[in-house]
Structure formats: structure tokens, C-alpha cells
A and B are shown apart, each in its own frame.
Chain A
């Protein structure tokens, strides 16, 4: 199997409290893995380590074979809040990663504009974030994350703040676009259903780490008996 992102032997201790030791995460190219666990288990700490914002005590993170431990900027990281800047238009917000990289504003906006159709944001280019619904804001934040790095995206409870109906729609939508774009995704969630719907592999962070592979997901997977079985298994692990 060809892994685009690997974390091996990751250990982290805060104030004599071991968050995790010798943790291994493998993200196959073009796939989605979910980190599932209750609050306070260290999911966000692990995300910080993967994105290079935090150094692990031991272990290393590699992206396409290159050691990126403690080096931010290689992987884009979408936080829980959408963090769209209220004073920029949606187009300007989405183009910001390119502008920061030194691309001229006009060209950056032109390049960002090409993705608006695909992300279902057409017609919203010149709106301000406050004029968008929660789901639309999340799409814009995802597009910005994608423009920042198209290799691997880390999503920290991206749909957590949405209402249940919008969340279900966004999950379906994300499945579709990540398949089409060939995105490799690490997603943090405390929602078992969300992990099972989105991921090809679920890391269950309970007492120790357990890996559950989900292969050959059918359409409407969440309505199958297999889904219920896996859900029961995960709940027993947590």
C-alpha cells in the first residue's frame, strides 16, 4: 500500500501525563482516515503534531517519504471554526493562501475562482462570509484549505457546528468531492456515524488505539447492517 502520510511511534507527554505512546497512523493516498474518540483523549494534540505545529516527544511524521516532523506549511489544517475573515469577500478569503505565498492578488483570485463551481459556491464569489449559511461557510473554508494544500488535508470536526440535516448533506458532498479530487484526508471527530460514513479507516482512540478498516463501502452505507455492526463494535471500544 502506498501511504502519502505516515506517523510512526508518536509519543507525547504533558505534565507527566502520557497522552499517547508509540502511536502509528497510516494514510493511504486518496483515502480518508478518521480519528475517533471522546473529548480530551488527545485528538487535537495529534492533529497539531501531524500538521507540524507541535513537536512530538518521540516518533516522526513523513509526507510522501519526506520527514516533516515539526515543520508546518506542508499540510493544510482546517480548524473547528471556519475562520473566514469577515472583511474579505468569499473569493478573497479563499484566495488568501495563494496571496500569502506571494501570488498577486488578482491572479490568486482568478485561480481560486476556477474551483467555485466544483465546490458548489458559484454566485457567492463577491458575497461576504456573514451573508452565507453555515454549510456554505464550511464549503468556503474547505475550498480555502484545499487551495492551501491539495496533497493532504487535516479536518478538525469540520461539520461539528452544523445542524443535523446540513451535516448529513455536507458529509455526502465531501465524500463526492474528495473522491473526484483524489483528496487524502485525516478527519477528527467524536461522532461514530460521521467516522463510518466518511472514512476508509477508523482509528478508535479509547483504551489504546484500535484500527477498523472499512472496505468496499456500498451506497447508503449508513443504512446497512454492516454499518450497525461496526458502530456497535466501535462503541464497545470507546
Chain B
């Protein structure tokens, strides 16, 4: 049951992107909008190429924060989900708190985290964890709960203990749910890092964005905005590859 992507599936969205690019060229070329407000695509490209060494340095920093933050999120989410799955009362007690963490506006809490933890990497990582932890934890929880009671009965009849039931049923069953949450989280994580850097830091794309905004270098700003999107897309692509690798049976 392999899903074949048809040519139109690829061409249609590409066409939309191309249309936006053309519009951008036309609007800037005809100077309907003044050049300093909306730089032309060529200007943005030139700004990007000219400043590549600086931008790459900041990019590395932002990626490092995101990877560390995401990694910590996954580890915490996994153990929290295992504990909540095992003890229903803990789930009842803590689940509302998890939901509440999702309602906190990241942009408001970031300066406070800077105040508490300084201008280094710590407040960025903490913000990423706050934002990214929840979808992953919910993914694991849903996955653990999706195990069929008959499958548990089958493994019990084989004499399986709890660890074996977890290893052979709950963990593999949770993978698709985990990846669904992981993808949502990953799309947030780079943006969270950038926001956090913007609101207080010494390194990273957020700091760079803030700096070029202050000096009215909107061409550079646009370049980095596009870069942040591309980075998020790349992260999602990496996750898709990982997903295929870990769940080869999904394509069969």
C-alpha cells in the first residue's frame, strides 16, 4: 500500500510558491511598495550571500539550542508519559498542569526566563522545553493507551512480564503517536529559540534579526526570516527520514 505521490501533488504547491515569488518580483519591481519597506528578492539574496559567515555562525548556535531543547523535551516527555501511564492518579494530578504550560504565551515568559537564567543558553533551552514537551508527552501517552487489551492478554498467556509488555507492545505502538507529536514540536522549536534569542541573548538568529532590524537592514531581515522557515522544514525532513527508518512497516 505504498502511497505514490503524483506529479500534480508536487507541482501544485510548487506553483503556489512560484506565484508568490513572481508577485514579490512584480510588487518590488514596479515600486508599488517603497524598496526600504519591502526589499526585492534579488536584494534579499545578495544580502544573504554577503553576510553568510555571520549568519551561519548564528544559525549554528540556534540549531544547537533547538537540538538540546528538543532532546531534553523528548527525554522528559518519555519518562513523564511512562509514569503517568503506570499510575493513573499521577496522570490525573499532573495532566492539567501540562495543559496549563501550553497556554502560557512563550513571548511573555521568555524575558522572565532571561531575567532568571541570564543571557546564555539556559533560558532558550528552557523555553523550548516548555513549548515542545507537551505534544511529545501527549503522543507517548496516547500511544501507550492505544495498545489492544487482547494483545496484552496474548502476551500474558506467553508469560510476559510488565517490562516485556512495554518493550513489545507499548513502545512500538507509541511510535507513530510519538512522531506525530514530535513533528508538531519540531516546527515550534526553532521559532521558540529565535523568539527567546530576540528577547535577550548574545548569539543566535534571533539576536541577529534584532540587530539588523535596529539598523533598518530589512533585506538581511527577510533573508533570515526565509532561512528560519527553511531550517524548520529541514528539521521536519530529518524527522520524516527518521520515521521511515524506525517504522519501515508503515510503507508496506
Q: Does B31 contact A (CB under 8 A)?
A: no
Give the interface segment out of B53-61, B153-161, B232-240: B153-161
CA distance A87 to B167 in the complex (A): 12
Summed over the interface, the residue pairs from A and B with CB atoms below 8 Å come to a total of 53
Known interface pairs A85-B168, A130-B252. Does A100 touch B159 (Cβ–Cβ under 8 Å)? yes
Q: Is there contact, CB below 8 Å, between A79 and B150?
A: yes
Q: Does B51 contact A (CB under 8 A)?
A: no
Q: Does A175 contact B (CB under 8 A)?
A: no
CA distance A86 to B250 in the complex (A): 9
Contacts of B248 in A (CB 8 A): 128
Q: Which of A85-111 contact B (CB under 8 A)?
A: 85-88, 96-97, 99-101
Mark contacts of A125-161 with chain B using CB atoms, 8 A cut-off: 1 yes-contact digit, 0 otherwise.
0011011000000000000000010000000000000
- In the complex, the chain A residue whose C-beta lies closest to that of B173 is A87
Interface size of B by Cβ–Cβ distance < 8 Å? 22
Q: Does B72 contact A (CB under 8 A)?
A: no
Most buried by A among B148, B155, B157, B248: B157
Contacts of A127 in B (CB 8 A): 252
Contacts of A72 in B (CB 8 A): 156-157, 159
Contacts of B175 in A (CB 8 A): 87
Residue from B151, B156, B157, B164 within 8 A of A85 (CB atoms): B151
B160: min CB distance to chain A, Å: 5
Known interface pairs A85-B169, A85-B172. Does A53 touch B158 (Cβ–Cβ under 8 Å)? no
Contacts of B148 in A (CB 8 A): 83
Mark contacts of B164-187 with chain A using CB atoms, 8 A cut-off: 1 yes-contact digit, 0 otherwise.
100011001101000000000000
Residue from B1, B150, B169 within 8 A of A130 (CB atoms): B1
Q: Is there contact, CB below 8 Å, between B249 and A79?
A: no
Interface size class of A (residues with CB under 8 A): 20 to 34
Q: Is there contact, CB below 8 Å, between B157 and A81?
A: no
Residue from B1, B164, B249 within 8 A of A87 (CB atoms): B249
Q: Does B247 contact A (CB under 8 A)?
A: yes
Contacts of B249 in A (CB 8 A): 86-87, 128, 130
Q: Is there contact, CB below 8 Å, between B160 and A100?
A: yes
Q: Is there contact, CB below 8 Å, between A83 and B159?
A: no
Q: Which of B97-151 contact A (CB under 8 A)?
A: 148, 150-151
Known interface pairs A86-B249, A131-B252. Does A100 touch B164 (Cβ–Cβ under 8 Å)? yes
Contacts of A101 in B (CB 8 A): 158-159
Q: Does A203 contact B (CB under 8 A)?
A: no
Residue from B1, B151, B173 within 8 A of A83 (CB atoms): B151
CA distance A99 to B167 in the complex (A): 11
- Which B residues are within 8 Å of any A CB, using their own CB? 1, 148, 150-151, 153-160, 164, 168-169, 172-173, 175, 247-249, 252
- Which A residues are within 8 Å of any B CB, using their own CB? 51, 53, 72-73, 76-77, 79, 81, 83, 85-88, 96-97, 99-101, 127-128, 130-131, 148
